Chain A
Amino acid sequence: MDNTTTLLGLLGTGASYGYDLKSRYDRWFGLKKPLAFGQVYTTLTRLMRNGWIVAIGAEAGAGPERKRYGITPAGRARVLEWIFTPEVPSETLQSDLFAKTIIALLLGDDAGRLLDLQRSRHMARMRELTNEKRGAGLAVVLACDHALFHIEADLRWIDLTAARLSQLQAEVKK
Chain B
Amino acid sequence: MNKVETISMSARAPENGSAPLLSARGLRLAFGLTEALRGIDLDCHAGEIIAVTGPSGSGKSTLLHVLAGVLVPDEGTVDYDTVRLTDLDEAGRSRLRLDKFGFVFQYGQLLPDLNAVDNVTIPLLLAGVKRREARRRADAWLDRLGLGECSRKLPGQLSGGQAQRVAIARALATKPTLLFTDEPTGSLDSLAAETVMLALTEAARDANTAVILTTHDPRTAAYADREVVVRDGQITIGGAYG
Q: Select which of B219, B229, B231, B242 is within 8 A of A124 by beta carbon.
A: B242
Take A148-B219, A152-B219 as given contacts and tell me if A119 and B4 are in contact as well, using a CB distance cutoff of 8 Å: no
Contact A86 B5 (CB under 8 A): yes
Contact B237 A119 (CB under 8 A): yes
Report whether over half of chain B's contact residues are helix, strand or loop; otherwise say mixed. Answer: loop
Interfacial chain A residues near B126, Cβ < 8 Å: none
Shortest Cβ distance from residue A20 to the other chain B in the assembled complex, whole angstroms: 28
Q: Does A123 interact with chain B (Cβ within 8 Å)?
A: yes
Q: Select which of B221, B223, B224, B229 is within 8 A of A116 by beta carbon.
A: B229
Closest B residue to A121 using CB positions? B242
Shortest Cβ distance from residue B140 to the other chain A in the assembled complex, whole angstroms: 22
Count the B residues whose beta carbon is within 8 Å of the partner chain — how many?
23
Q: Select which of A85, A120, A130, A163 is within 8 A of B222 by beta carbon.
A: A130
Cα separation A130 to B197 with both chains bound (whole Å): 11
Cα separation A163 to B56 with both chains bound (whole Å): 11
Take A84-B5, A116-B237 as given contacts and tell me if A123 and B198 are in contact as well, using a CB distance cutoff of 8 Å: no
Contact B218 A80 (CB under 8 A): no
Interfacial chain B residues near A146, Cβ < 8 Å: none
Cα separation A60 to B100 with both chains bound (whole Å): 81
Contact with A along B199-242 (1 / 0, CB 8 A): 00010000000000000001101111101010100001101011
Cα separation A159 to B5 with both chains bound (whole Å): 20
Contact A116 B55 (CB under 8 A): no
Interfacial chain B residues near A80, Cβ < 8 Å: 1, 4
Q: Does A15 interact with chain B (Cβ within 8 Å)?
A: no
Shortest Cβ distance from residue A114 to the other chain B in the assembled complex, whole angstroms: 10
Interfacial chain B residues near A116, Cβ < 8 Å: 7, 229, 236-237
Q: Does B3 interact with chain A (Cβ within 8 Å)?
A: yes
Contact A117 B7 (CB under 8 A): yes
Take A126-B219, A134-B198 as given contacts and tell me if A120 and B1 are in contact as well, using a CB distance cutoff of 8 Å: no
- Residue ranges of A at the interface with B (Cβ–Cβ < 8 Å): 77, 80-81, 84-86, 112-113, 116-117, 119-124, 126-127, 129-130, 134, 148, 151-152, 155, 159, 162-163
Listed from nearest, the 9 A-B pairs whose CB atoms lie closest are A126-B222, A84-B4, A130-B222, A124-B242, A120-B242, A155-B218, A127-B222, A123-B227, A116-B237
